[in-house]
Amino acid sequence: MNTFRTMSAVIVAVLLAIGCGSGKPQDASATDTHGQPEQPTRLAEMPANASSTATAGRASIHGTVHFTGTAPTPEKVKMDADPICQQQHATPVYMEDAVVSNSMLKNVFVYVKDGAKGPFPSPTTPVVLAQAGCWYNPHIFGIQVDQPLEIVNNDATLHNINAKPTINQPFNVAQPVKGMKMTKKFAKPEIMVKFKCNVHPWMNAYVGVVDNPFFSVSGADGSFTITGLPAGTYTLEAWHEKYGTQTQTVTVADGETKTVDLTFTAK
């Protein structure tokens, strides 16, 4: 344990010395807060991000993401490198890159790629990405352009948040103290932006940055819902970190709820 703490201290010093490792200046919107320690955010308390901004439309799309082929065997996460991480889990933790249950696929980001007619004001309410139990929560989520993203360390151990966009400004910031928060924004749409923690390499998450409020993430039962749509024809894109993307055209009338099915196949 002393070895891990020594290593963590070295990593913090290196990250701060090199400007947090991105090789580019930090986003001016970033703020760090040394707040009071917060209660750990449990996985079950974090719902999948769905479109929630109020819009004039009354139509919706409800769908289910199916999975065909042999479901992958879940990979067990080994957290024994950091005792603080390990002691927070009474039961095994598994990677979330391919979560299949009853032939339904979880963690598929579904959004309106084409057909939404804006402009759509950016919400001021932040989306929260929590680090709890040495785990990013949620694993897959969505956010609008210029909407605040609040990143919180709920663990009494060092994390660094290394965002790896290809269009937006990258950042890599250390949070060594429990209760630390920082706020970021993404200036441009991008599907998807990956987050990783170099200290705990099993930690990763993805965010879909979109220019409209019409998005959702499939739950454990494979279902997703996009609400507030005006009548019209839309191109939906569904993204999964392991199984790629697919699109589907959907037409909805005013007040209609259209049901769609999406299917991803094992590789």
What average pLDDT does range 198-226 have in this prediction?
Answer: 97
Summarize the confidence of residues 148-173 as an average pLDDT.
97
248 and 236 in contact (C-beta within 8 Å)? yes
Order of strands, sheet of 140-144, starting from the edge strand that comes earlier in the sequence: 140-144, 204-210, 190-196, 159-163, 171-175
Q: How many beta carbons lie within 10 A of that of residue 221, not counting itself?
A: 13
Question: Residue 255: which CATH number?
Answer: 2.60.40.420
pLDDT band of residue 41 (cuts 50, 70, 90) is very low
Give the chain's domain count: 1
- Residue span of the structural domain in which 181 resides: 2-265
Q: How confident is the model at residue 191 (pLDDT cuts 50, 70, 90)?
A: very high
Residue with tokens 């290394």: 162
